[in-house]
Structure 1
Amino acid sequence: MNRDNQRSTKNFKWKRAYSIVAGIALLLIVFRLLLPTMVLRYANNTLANLDGYYGQVADIDIALYRGAYQLNQFYLNKVDSASGDQAQFFRVNRADLSIEWRSLFRGALVGELVFESPELIFTKDKAELDAVARDTNDFRQLLRDFMPLRVNRFEVRNGSIRYIDSNTSPIVDIALEKAHIVAENLKNTARKGEKLPSNLQAEAQAYGGTLTLYMELDALARRPTFDLTAEIEGANLPELNDFFIAYGKFDVSQGTFGLYSEFAADGGRYKGYVKPIIKGLEVMGTEDRKDGFFQRAKEAVVEAVTQLLENPKAEQVATRVPIEGSFGETNVLVWEAVWQLIKNAFIEALMPSVDHQINIDSPKEVTGRQGIFKPD
């Protein structure tokens, strides 16, 4: 009898243990099934009550096995505080937020963020530098809210950046498209001890041309610390005629545009330059024969000035604009830019490439030269 009682007690304990395990497993399954809905509700409530913005997420997928979740069809609009009108600001087909396993193996618990087909939109009257900086900070804070881990790696696939001015005729809508951006080691889990341990690489399509950018930086520095090189090559100017007509009241019949730039910043100071180069520019074309007299006269003046400043051998109009100063005070060396324009036209053509004259030590040379123009 005692043996039977012991067997019954033992069976009861096993059944109770199985029941507890099964109950816990069932609760975990139910929780897993409900988790995306719970997170989606939290996300949309948060996005609907942002100060100055309104956003929504269509769906959220969670992959616990790799420590990740995805926001699908996510958009964020800017809201005008006075009228309540919304303007498109950011949208993305899918945002993947996950643990970066490479850094985890180094003992650092950090995150990785990947955007699939995102679009960032700046609109007229909302694209001033102060507004852009404010939007960027707000957006970074939003990402921190949605990403509990510090982002160490960031990638954009097939992205675009647009500028829209709907108050002009024609409407200005220009964009960099098919952008691929990769930023790594933002939290310095590797290459410790280096002055610029992080890096960012970017490529994009620009009206038949290409944009390439490379930057080394210290993403953890209190003040901007970076060394940047950027190039735009082969952009087709006639594809930008809406921009020229809207702001310059003329169009062009042919020509290509390139831009070459280097900048470095350290210790609250920066130094660099931009070098725009226009090749084979023609303003007057057969399509302009139907224009009115004053329009044709204006375009004739533009073309005459262009021809005057064009280097005859290289067939290019170019200048080099040095820019330096401290953050909060931009110094554009105007007379140096004018001299470079004249030099390109009459003495020696500027090379369509970066000059490799700027590095992380260059900001130390900024002394606040006299006779420079300081824009607001």
Structure 2
Amino acid sequence: MPYYVRDELNKTLADIPGYYGHIDDVGISLYRGAYQLNGLYLDKVDSKTQTPFLNFPKTDISIQWGGALLDGRVVSEIEMQHPSISYTFEDHIAADGSLDEPSADMWYAVLTDIVPLQINRFETIDGEFTFTGLYAEPNIDLYLSNVNALATNLQNAEQSSLALPSTLKATATTIGNGNLDLNGKLDLIKEIPDMNLDMTIKNADITALNDLTLHYAGIDFEEGKFELASELAIADGYMKGYFKPLMTDTKIVDKWSDEDTNIFKIAWESFVGLFKFVLKNQGTDTLATNIPIEGSVENTEIGIWSSVFNIFENGWFNAFDSNVDDTIGFNDAITKKMIRLRRVKKQEGCVGKNVELNV
């Protein structure tokens, strides 16, 4: 029986256009309605690296026992140990710049073959995700390691009346050895999922970002910390939130020797002085801002002037910290969407009419 299941699943992987994959072994635990996939990997046929796109050493798939089953709903739960996802940009983009991937329907069919039951609980233990651009400029080498994530009630099998019935908790180690913490509530059943997320990254070594800062700003950090706090709410495709990046105890590499006296050195020293003494908060040695984002998922606007003002607010008035501000909630996205819809209806001459707002 396990060999038959393994062979059938391997046929499914073999049918994915442009990919090759294999499952080494399948174990079946009838007493708890579960099966285990050991050594699952999947990669592009013409991959430019030796690292598989998907490498899942051990995946346990089982019926979720408990309240959902008692209510007559049969759903599944998945536990993945040490999963690795390695996305190499050049492997998934065609020569003309378009996405070189099978259709979403194809991926859904593959997932359904592997996991016939709807997934209601998903857990990742000690995972790793990497995103690499081999020929990108600047160099792209981003990763998350030690990823531990738990998502529950994804199909609302518990029949919750909450607007956001699913929960998500995740921790990970970022580039620069930072600590990522993500918490949220979700409704994944909708076409564009509703959500309310909080995220922080703390104590990351800022020198890990030097490829990016050198390319876009000409800045090479010698030392310092990078931190980030963010809140994000999405309701019916309308998004509201912010990103709050912070740089603390930073030191910039001096590009010029003491003997240099040209205009470029003077300009550089002026820039460093602006960075160190004007924009930074002297009490906390922190350069920070708050970048607001708002709008539909397809057309999100970033508050440029608010971001600039917030740099000076942190530097001169109120020092920002690396915690979330607790200023964004799910109702904020709903309220902003209603205001936007009323504005649209007013422009269309519908004010005063009985217009139903779908929020």
Judge same fold: TM > 0.5, yes or no.
yes
One-letter identity of the residue aligned with 1:365:
K
Q: For 1:215, what is the secondary structure of its paired residue?
A: strand
Alignment partner, residue 344 of structure 2: none
Q: For 1:196, what is the secondary structure of its paired residue?
A: coil
Rounded to whole Å, the distance in 1 between the matches of 2:138 and 2:237 is 41
Q: Does 1:144 pair with 2:144? A: no
Q: Does 1:45 pair with 2:11? A: yes
Q: Which of 45, 54, 59 is the equivalent residue of 1:95?
A: 59
**Closer, same or farther in 2 for the Cα pair 1:171/1:272, shift >3 Å?**
closer
Rounded to whole Å, the distance in 2 between the matches of 1:199 and 1:119 is 23
| Shift, 1:105, TM fit | 3.8
Q: Structure 1: which 5+ runs fail to align?
A: 1-34, 369-376
Superposition pairs for residues 210-289 of structure 1, below 5 Å?
210-245=179-214, 250-284=219-253
Percent identity of the aligned residues? 31
The number of equivalent residue pairs is: 327
Q: For 2:145, what is the secondary structure of its paired residue?
A: strand
Q: For 1:253, what is the secondary structure of its paired residue?
A: strand
One-letter identity of the residue aligned with 1:63:
S
Q: Does 1:329 pair with 2:295? A: no
Rounded to whole Å, the distance in 2 between the matches of 1:311 and 1:202 is 31
> Would you tell me which structure has more helix in proportion to its own residues?
1
| Shift, 1:168, TM fit | 5.1
Q: Does 1:66 pair with 2:66? A: no
- TM superposition score normalised by structure 2: 0.80
| Shift, 1:336, TM fit | 1.1
Q: Structure 2: which 5+ runs fail to align?
A: 341-359
Instruction: Give 1 or 2 for the bigger CA radius of gyration.
Output: 1
| Shift, 1:274, TM fit | 0.6
One-letter identity of the residue aligned with 1:36:
P
**Closer, same or farther in 2 for the Cα pair 1:293/1:56, shift >3 Å?**
farther
Q: What does the per-residue CA deviation read over 1:64-107, in whole Å, with 9 as the maximum and x for residues that have no partner?
A: 2221111112112245xxxx446642211111111111232443
Alignment partner, residue 317 of structure 2: 347
Q: Which of 67, 87, 99 is the equivalent residue of 1:122?
A: 87
Q: For 1:361, what is the secondary structure of its paired residue?
A: helix
Q: What does the per-residue CA deviation read over 1:129-154, in whole Å, with 9 as the maximum and x for residues that have no partner?
A: x9699898865553222101111100
Q: Which of 184, 190, 195 is the equivalent residue of 2:158?
A: 190
Q: Which of 34, 41, 48 is the equivalent residue of 1:75?
A: 41
Q: Does 1:316 pair with 2:282? A: no
One-letter identity of the residue aligned with 1:99:
I
Rounded to whole Å, the distance in 2 between the matches of 1:323 and 1:135 is 30
| Shift, 1:357, TM fit | 1.1
Superposed CA RMSD in Å reads 3.3
Q: For 2:38, what is the secondary structure of its paired residue?
A: strand
Rounded to whole Å, the distance in 2 between the matches of 1:112 and 1:124 is 31
One-letter identity of the residue aligned with 1:201:
K
